[in-house]
Amino acid sequence: MNILVDIGHPAQVHLFKHFVREAERRGHAVTVYAREKEHTLHLLAAEGITPWGFTRARGTLAWNMAELLVRDIDIWRLVRRRRIQVAVGTSIPISHATLAGGVKSFVFNEDDLDVVPLMGKLAYPFCSGIVAPRCVRMGRWAHKHVAYDGYQKLAYLHPNRFTPDAAVPERFGINPRAPYFLLRLTAFNAYHDDSHWGLAPAQVRMLVERLRPHGRVLISSENPLPAEWESMRLSVPPEHIHHVMAFAQLFIGDGQSMITESALLGTPAIRCNTFIGRSSVLDEIENKYRLAHGFLPSQFAAMLETIDALLTNPHAKAECQDKRNGLLRDKVDVTAWMLDFIENQGRPAKGC
C-alpha cells in the first residue's frame, strides 16, 4: 500500500516514527512530507527519516495561510505522483488529499473540537475519519470519530516502544540517581493559545526557590531566561528528552504535551495554565488515573501545597509508577493499533 504521512510539528515525528519504520518493514511504501517548525527536520534526521519535501512555519497569519496553500499543492502532487492510497497526519492539507479522488485521509488529533475550531472548519469536513482517543469531544463530527483506547503519546512512550536509559542523562551531565526537577515554560504562540497563558515570571521565581533546596533545577524554556538562570537551562537534544524526563523526580510546566509525556513515563507532573478543564485527555489522566495535577494560574497557592506534599513524600515517584501501570492495563500500544487500522483501509471490503 502507498501511504502518505504529513508531519507538521516536532511532536508528530514521535507520533509517527515507529509507524513509518514498521509500515516500511511490512512492505508498504511510505512517503513523508514535513513542516519545518522548531526542530521537526532535526528530529526526522535523528530518526533516519528523509521527507520528500517540506515547508517552513513563518509565524504570521498571512504567511501561514500562504504556506497552507503551498502545502495543499505539494501534497496534491505527491498523492498523484506516488499513487497514494491512504494519507495520514495531524494537518489540514491531509484532509484535502481526499479531494484528489480514491484517497482516504485520516486526521490524527487529541484536542477537543472546542479547543481547535479551525480544524473543525478546514479539515474535518473533508477527511475520511478523525482518529482520536475515545475520551476526546468531537461535537458535530462525532460520526467521523475513529476512537481508540490510548493517547497519541503512547505511540512512542508505551513500554513496547520506549525504555528509559540512565546513560542518556549522564551523557549530558545529569545524574539520574540524584534528585532533579524539570521546569518547562512555553511561549503560548500557537493559534489555539490565543487568550491563554501560564506561569507568570514571579511564579516561576517562586518555583525555582521552592525546588532548589531539594535537588537540581533544570529549565526548558521557549522564551529567553534571566541571566541568573542560564546555568539551569536544559541543554539536551530533543531526541533524548524523554530519557531525561523519565528519571526526574517532578515535572512542572505550563504547556500541555510534556505534562502528558511525563505522566505516561511515571514522573509526577504538575501543570499551570488557563486550559485547565478544556482537555479531555489531560482531564482523564489527572482525574481518573491521578498521574498529574492541573491548576489555574489563580490557584498557584494550592499548586505550591501539592508540590510541597510531593517533595516531602519519599514514595511519590514509586506511587506514580504504580498508577502508570494501572493506566497501561487500560490502554493499547498505539503504534500497533495504527498499523492495523491503516492496513485495514487498503484491504478489499468483505464480499469483493
14: Cα separation from own chain's centroid: 8
Please determine, looking at this structure, whether the domain spanning 167-330 carries the CATH number 3.40.50.2000. yes
pLDDT, tens digit, 9 for 90 and up, residues 292-348: 999 999 999 999 999 999 999 999 999 999 999 999 999 999 999 999 999 998 665
CB atoms within 10 A of CB 91: 27
Looking from the CA of 159 toward its CB, the CA atoms found within 13 Å total: 8
124-127 long-range Cβ contacts below 8 angstroms, 24+ apart: 124/95, 125/95, 126/95, 126/96, 126/98, 126/99, 127/94, 127/95, 127/98
Mean pLDDT over the full length of the chain: 90
pLDDT bin (cut points 50, 70, 90) of residue 38 is confident
pLDDT bin (cut points 50, 70, 90) of residue 352 is very low
Write down the pTM of the prediction: 0.91
Three-state DSSP at 271 gives strand
Signed CA dihedral, 189, 195, 201, 205: sign only: negative
For the chain, the structural domain boundaries read 2-158+332-345, 167-330
Distance, in Å, from the CA atom of 339 to the CA atom of 192, rounded to the nearest integer, reads 29
Output the nine-digit C-alpha cell for 87: 494519507
Grid look-up 551523557 returns: 171
User: Going by DSSP bridges, is the β-strand pair 129-133/104-108 parallel, antiparallel, or unpaired?
Assistant: parallel
Same fold, 2-158+332-345 and 167-330: yes
pLDDT bin (cut points 50, 70, 90) of residue 351 is very low
Please determine, looking at this structure, whether the domain spanning 2-158+332-345 carries the CATH number 3.40.50.2000. yes
Which stretches within the chain are classed as H helix? 10-25, 40-46, 61-81, 92-96, 117-122, 154-157, 167-171, 201-211, 241-246, 257-265, 280-287, 300-311, 316-330, 334-345
Higher pLDDT, residue 157 or 100: 157
Output the nine-digit C-alpha cell for 140: 458535530
- For residue 148, which of 279, 337, 12, 286 has the smallest C-alpha distance? 337
